[in-house]
A and B are shown apart, each in its own frame.
Chain A
Amino acid sequence: MNTANHSAGLADRPAKIEVRDLSLVFGVGDKAVHALGPINLSVGDGEFLSIVGPSGCGKSTLTKVVAGLLPPTKGEVDIRLAGTSIAPIATVFQDYGIFPWKTVLENVKFGLTVNGVTGSEATDRAAMWVQKLGLAGFENRYPSSLSGGMQQRVSIARALAVEPEILLMDEPFASLDAQLRELLQEELLRLHESDGRTVLFVTHSLEEALVLGDRVLVLTARPGTLLDLKDVPFARPRTSEVRESREFNEMRYELWSHLKDQVHIGVTGDAS
Chain B
Amino acid sequence: MNTATATTVTRRNRLPLETRPQRLRRRRRLEATLGIAVPVVLIGLWEVAARLGWINAQFFPAPSSSVIRGVEMIIEGRLLADIGITAYRVLVGYVLGTIIGFAAGVGMGMSPLLRKALEPMLSALYTVPKIAILPIFLTIFGFSDAPIIAIVTVTVFFYIWIYTMEAVVAIPNGYLDAAKSFGVKGWAMFRHVVFPASLPSVAVGLRVGVGVALLITISSEFIVGGSGVGYLIFNARALFRLEEAYAGIVTAALIGVILQGTITWLGHRVTPWVVSRESRAAGL
**Which A positions have Cβ atoms within 8 angstroms of B?**
64, 67-69, 87, 89-91, 93, 95-102, 110-111, 113-115, 142-145, 162, 168
Contacts and interface: CB of A to CB of B under 8 A. Distances in A.
Interface of B: 174-175, 177-184, 188, 192-193, 196-197, 199, 271-273, 275
Contacts of B175: 97, 99
Contacts of A90: 181-182
Instruction: Identify which of B179, B183, B272 gathers the most chain A CB atoms within 10 Å of its CB.
Output: B183
B182 A101 contact: no
A144 B275 contact: yes
Given A100-B273, A144-B273, A144-B275, A114 B177 contact: no
Contacts of B183: 87, 114-115
B128 to A, nearest CB: 35
Contacts of A115: 182-183
Contacts of B174: 93, 95-97
Given A90-B181, A90-B182, A142-B275, 6 more contacts: A68-B181, A69-B177, A99-B196, A101-B273, A113-B192, A142-B272
Contacts of B275: 142, 144-145
Contacts of B188: 114
Contacts of A64: 177
A98 B178 contact: yes
A114 B178 contact: no
Contacts of A113: 192
B177 A101 contact: no
Given A142-B272, A145-B275, A101 B196 contact: yes
B272 A68 contact: no
Contact of A99 (B180, B181, B192, B271): B192
B193 A114 contact: no
Contacts, number: 62
Q: Chain B interface mostly helix, strand, loop or mixed?
A: helix
B199 A101 contact: yes
Contacts of B197: 101
Nearest to B197: A101
A101 B193 CA distance: 9
B236 to A, nearest CB: 48
Given A142-B273, A144-B273, A93 B196 contact: no
A77 to B, nearest CB: 15
The 6 closest A-B pairs by CB, nearest first: A97-B178, A101-B196, A142-B273, A91-B181, A97-B174, A111-B182
Nearest to B178: A97
A197 to B, nearest CB: 16
B180 A69 contact: yes
Given A99-B193, A99-B196, A114-B192, A89 B273 contact: no
28 contacts: A64-B177, A68-B180, A68-B181, A69-B177, A69-B181, A87-B183, A90-B181, A91-B181, A93-B177, A96-B174, A97-B174, A97-B175, A98-B178, A99-B175, A99-B193, A100-B273, A101-B196, A101-B197, A101-B199, A101-B271, A101-B273, A111-B182, A114-B182, A114-B192, A115-B183, A144-B275, A145-B275, A162-B182
A113 B174 CA distance: 19
A51 to B, nearest CB: 17
Contacts of B181: 67-69, 89-91, 93, 168
B158 to A, nearest CB: 26
B247 to A, nearest CB: 44
A83 to B, nearest CB: 13
Contacts of A143: 273
Contacts of A100: 273
Contacts of A99: 175, 178, 192-193, 196
Contact of B178 (A68, A87, A91, A145): A91
Contacts of B273: 100-102, 142-144
Nearest to B195: A101
Nearest to A99: B175
A106 B196 CA distance: 13
Nearest to B185: A114
A143 B273 CA distance: 8
A114 B179 CA distance: 9
A97 B199 CA distance: 18
Contacts of A145: 275
Contacts of A87: 182-183
A143 B196 CA distance: 14
Contacts of A95: 174
Given A90-B182, A114-B182, A97 B177 contact: yes
Given A101-B273, A144-B275, A110 B177 contact: no
